A and B are shown apart, each in its own frame.
Chain A
Amino acid sequence: MSEILAAERILDFCWVGAGALVTQTLALHGADVIKIESSARPDNLRVSPPFRPGQRDLNGSGYFASRNSGKRSFALNMKHPRAREVATELARVSTIVTSNYRPGVLERWGLGYADLCPDNPGLIHLSMPMQGSDGPHRDFAGFGSTIQALAGLVAPSGLPGRTPLGTNTHYPDHLPNPGHALVALLGAIYRRDLTGQGAELELAQFESTVNMMGPDVVAASVTGKSPAPHGNALAGYEPRGVYPASGDDRWVAISAAAKDCARVVDVLKERAVEPPSEDLEGWLAAATSRWEAEELVERLQAVGIAAAEVLTTAELLEDAHLAKRGFWRRLVHPTMGEIVVPGLPFQLNGAPIADERPAPMLGQHTWEVAESVLGLTRSEYERGVEEGLFQ
């Protein structure tokens, strides 16, 4: 843990997708992230697969564990009449409040930026509504997969004439939206450290994702046209595609500028049965299948051609390069046992993330936070538990 953000305390109402990854990055750089959740309405990820066989409970989701490590869990039932008072007190002693609820939910609880700012003028308040807090579609609902369709990312991804594919994941939740939110949030921290001024940040997930289509937006504004589905091909590149290697469902991705095509052909000629033909793609696929994937990648890389094995999740976890860089973290979770979670894709001063705190169990840190942050006595805390406040 770099401890760069050791001065930050985050009151975290983020749940499910994009928001959880924002606050996980902050936690892994030293911030105290207090995740507000409740067994009365658990984070949907806590009930989402995968689970280890026989461990399907609120603390057993691998999906949840992969994006909440390093955080503290504070069980607070927001439906309890005293919950808002507790949350407001936590907000007063926090530097950042985060949420990805629909517009208006935090404001209804008196936890909007305007409510909290007077007592905490340096506060940074991040909300991540799908479409923004205003406009005719402000209340529309969505998930990563619908946002990427809306933003134009799905239509050109796939083969011509077939159903378009996108990423086949909720991609905007995993990279574009946490990424842009972190840029805004860290920019605001930088400003606050200089001036003391807080900030109200809004990341509309639709708009953030449209930025990942920026070059095509610029082009469409001039030409009026959109990119068509193009498989793995790209203008100016030949070959560029995914080709079969020896074995069952083994593939190699190869990408060469057209001027480098001969270098690829020269390597593949070493084992090809037929000489290169007019149908270059067909010839390539026949030629590549005579190679082990790893061997072909090494040979092409040796002549400066971009090539990589199409790695499966099983292979990624065994990947020697990622292991050397310390990317995967093997954590011990109180009920799940040993689990693997990703680190962060950037290293500061050559150090991978070494934080060993797994995702919290629901409410694991309620007493700890109640005592150390809110200054409650044990009996006050126990009364809260009995009343269903800390639940």
Chain B
Amino acid sequence: MFAPLEGVRVIDLAGQRGAYTGRLLADLGADVIRVVRGAEPLSDVGPHVQTPDGTTVSAFELFVNLNKRSVLLDAADNEGLAALVATADVVVHTMTWDELADCGLDQATLSRIAPRAVITSVLPFGADGPRSGFAGDDLTQLAAGGLLCLGGYPDSEPIAVHGGQSDLGAALVATTGILLALIGRRHGRHVDQVDVSAQETVAGALEDAIPEYDLTGVVRRRRGDRAREAGTGTYPCADGYVAVVAGRMGTAAGWAALTTWMVEAGVEGADEVASEVWLDFNHRQLPESIDRFEKVFAGFAADRTRERLYEEGQRRGIAIAPVNQVHELFESPQLQARRFFVDITGGAVPSVRVPGRPYRVDGDTEFVRRAAPIAGQHTHEVLAELLDGDNQRSRA
């Protein structure tokens, strides 16, 4: 098992925005102790599932707390919190400086009790600047970061992508910062603060929209399901939708392969889109070309399923993919062949399935050491270790 962070202690105080950070560090072998005060705040985060005995459990919590240990403290137990933070190589939190001080962790205390720790904050707008105290959640972070402006239909309000992407994304970015800090520490560079901004996380992921405005003055806005070019977009088929990139940014063979396929199928209008003038992407980007292609492709795809379009399209060299529902991923022949999903037993829900590790190291895919804990499951264990450590120090 690839576990380079064995021996690194992480104290995880994060809310929804940063909770995935501890998960990624735990997957790397760190001893991640999730410390919750009063109650696990992630229990409120959806989606939720029911256990056989009727209890409601957060699937978000099950996903992000995998491989962590959990310690439950009284909401007012600042001393207990400080004792745990004092053992940390890394602290991850989602609090402003004021909120930290309310927990007894003002800057002076932190640098006294944990002088070598990497203190990591994952905030909507970062730890400084005029809006550093602002509240935020995924929707407002996508708004402030500019991705929301690109999403939605032209006749609707801007619409956000599903799944708390700015929260998971900011947590991913935080992990990069922490790993750089830990590497730096081994090279004698002292990094004690990682300051992550969810707004910047989103603003750095706007594709070509920033240079487009910078170089041409064009402000990109939501265009809904309107393709940017004939052959590049989301199109309906017999049992749902497929996403296609057969235009200029596609594979070299993509456009020709797609139009040839439609001609072979005898689709009405296929000969027209297969003609030479359509080989020029400038022609394919004309509004009337986009409309015309959509009609021809609709006739082609109406009696073909996503799976058929995917399998045969790919074998013809076209970048095409089904618009999958999440539960359909379990049936993916590719993910099955790679034994991607991992079944986990022994947690709050008797058996759940989680996505496999997002990367493989030396061909190894194993990474699960323990199911997501029930809040406080390791309180006694961890406090006993602390006491043991204190005793050893006092004997020494």
Q: Which residues of A contact B (CB under 8 A)?
A: 2-5, 7, 25, 29, 44, 48-53, 61-63, 65-66, 131-132, 134-143, 145-159, 162-171, 174-176, 179-184, 186-191, 193-194, 199-204, 206-208, 210-227, 230-232, 234-236, 240-244, 249, 251-255, 301, 304-314, 316-317, 320-322, 324-325, 327, 336, 339-350
Judging by beta carbons under 8 Å apart, are A169 and B163 in contact? no
Chain A residue with the shortest CB-CB distance to B339: A135
What is the distance, in angstroms, from A224's C-beta to the closest C-beta of chain B? Answer: 6
A-B contact pairs, 10 of them (CB 8 A): A132-B338, A201-B361, A204-B360, A212-B168, A218-B63, A251-B148, A306-B134, A310-B143, A321-B130, A321-B199
**Residue of B5, B151, B241, B251 with most chain A CB atoms under a 10 A cut-off:** B151
Known A153-B163, A204-B338, A313-B213; judge A213-B326 contact (CB<8 A). yes
The B324-344 residues at the A interface (CB cut-off 8 A) are: 324-330, 333-335, 337-338, 340-341
Judging by beta carbons under 8 Å apart, are A165 and B151 in contact? yes
A168: chain B residues within 8 A (beta carbon): 150-151, 222-224
- Extra contacts besides A213-B329, A349-B193 (9): CB < 8 Å: A48-B208, A50-B214, A137-B333, A168-B150, A214-B355, A234-B139, A253-B158, A325-B197, A345-B170
Docked complex Cα distance between A341 and B214 (Å): 9
Judging by beta carbons under 8 Å apart, are B147 and A167 in contact? yes
Known A52-B215, A171-B161; judge A219-B59 contact (CB<8 A). yes
The B263-277 residues at the A interface (CB cut-off 8 A) are: none
A134: chain B residues within 8 A (beta carbon): 337-338
The B116-171 residues at the A interface (CB cut-off 8 A) are: 124-131, 134-153, 156-165, 168-170
Chain B residue with the shortest CB-CB distance to A158: B159
Known A184-B361, A215-B63; judge A322-B324 contact (CB<8 A). no
Using C-beta atoms within 8 Å of the partner chain, give the interface range for chain B.
Answer: 35 or more
Judging by beta carbons under 8 Å apart, are A62 and B241 in contact? no
What is the distance, in angstroms, from A227's C-beta to the closest C-beta of chain B? Answer: 6
Known A168-B151, A176-B169, A193-B186; judge A215-B196 contact (CB<8 A). no
B327: chain A residues within 8 A (beta carbon): 220, 224-226
Docked complex Cα distance between A243 and B241 (Å): 29
Contact among A62, A146, A253 with B244 in the assembled complex (CB-CB below 8 Å): A146
Docked complex Cα distance between A317 and B146 (Å): 10
A325: chain B residues within 8 A (beta carbon): 126, 128-129, 197, 200
B28: chain A residues within 8 A (beta carbon): 183, 187
A151: chain B residues within 8 A (beta carbon): 324, 329
Chain A residue with the shortest CB-CB distance to B225: A163
A159: chain B residues within 8 A (beta carbon): 153, 156, 159
A5: chain B residues within 8 A (beta carbon): 180, 183
What is the distance, in angstroms, from B388's C-beta to the closest C-beta of chain A? Answer: 26
Judging by beta carbons under 8 Å apart, are A62 and B215 in contact? yes
Contact among A200, A305, A322, A350 with B193 in the assembled complex (CB-CB below 8 Å): A350
Chain B residue with the shortest CB-CB distance to A342: B204
What is the distance, in angstroms, from A387's C-beta to the closest C-beta of chain B? Answer: 26
**Residue of A65, A219, A327 with most chain B CB atoms under a 10 A cut-off:** A219
Docked complex Cα distance between A140 and B153 (Å): 30
Q: Is B384 an interface residue (CB 8 A)?
A: no
What is the distance, in angstroms, from B330's C-beta to the closest C-beta of chain A? Answer: 7
Known A301-B134, A344-B204, A345-B204; judge A186-B176 contact (CB<8 A). yes
Known A7-B187, A135-B337; judge A345-B197 contact (CB<8 A). yes
What is the distance, in angstroms, from B337's C-beta to the closest C-beta of chain A? Answer: 4
Judging by beta carbons under 8 Å apart, are A142 and B4 in contact? no
Known A181-B359, A308-B141; judge A141-B158 contact (CB<8 A). no
Judging by beta carbons under 8 Å apart, are B203 and A137 in contact? no
Chain A residue with the shortest CB-CB distance to B4: A191
Docked complex Cα distance between A335 and B394 (Å): 66
Known A201-B359, A207-B355, A234-B46; judge A349-B179 contact (CB<8 A). no
Judging by beta carbons under 8 Å apart, are A215 and B59 in contact? yes
0 or 1 for each of B188-202: is its CB under 8 Å from A? (1 = yes): 010111111111110
Q: Is B115 an interface residue (CB 8 A)?
A: no
What is the distance, in angstroms, from B349's C-beta to the closest C-beta of chain A? Answer: 6
Which of B31-39, B313-321, B374-382 is the interface stretch?
Answer: B313-321
Judging by beta carbons under 8 Å apart, are B161 and A348 in contact? no
B140: chain A residues within 8 A (beta carbon): 253-255, 306-308
Q: Is B216 an interface residue (CB 8 A)?
A: yes
Judging by beta carbons under 8 Å apart, are A149 and B323 in contact? yes
Q: Is B184 an interface residue (CB 8 A)?
A: yes
A25: chain B residues within 8 A (beta carbon): 176
